[in-house]
Amino acid sequence: MAGGLRSSPIPQQEMADRAANTSSRRNAEETETLRSKLVDQHISMLNYPDPLKPRAPLQVYPQGITPEMEARWLQMLKKNGV
């Protein structure tokens, strides 16, 4: 039977599985390669504060203003009922 269907020694499902495994393995390797290039190799989490830990409120005063001046003004506002 010339030109007839030939049966392969490996079933088609098994060949498809092998191709899928090779493809997914290749994708995983490429992903790891790209990820390693994108990640900063010199970063250390020890250099950063814990983002979940509560922090003290930031007190930034304009030049020439002290916390004592702010306390006095707040006292004056409280005294005047504002």
Q: Vertex 17, ends 13 and 18: CA angle to 5°?
A: 120
Asked whether residue 53 is assigned to any structural domain, the reply reads: no
Asked whether residue 76 is assigned to any structural domain, the reply reads: no
Asked whether residue 32 is assigned to any structural domain, the reply reads: yes
Asked whether residue 24 is assigned to any structural domain, the reply reads: yes
Asked whether residue 17 is assigned to any structural domain, the reply reads: yes
Concatenate the DSSP letters of all residues of 14-39 into one string. Answer: HHHHHHHHHHHHHHHHHHHHHHHHHS
Asked whether residue 45 is assigned to any structural domain, the reply reads: no
Domain count, the chain: 1
pTM for the model:
0.31
The owner of tokens 């250099």 is 47
Asked whether residue 57 is assigned to any structural domain, the reply reads: no
Q: Are 35 and 27 in contact (CB under 8 A)?
A: no
Domain span including residue 17: 11-39
- What is the per-residue pLDDT across 10-64, written as a single tens digit (0 to 9) for each? 666 666 666 666 677 888 888 888 887 777 777 788 888 898 999 887 778 888 8
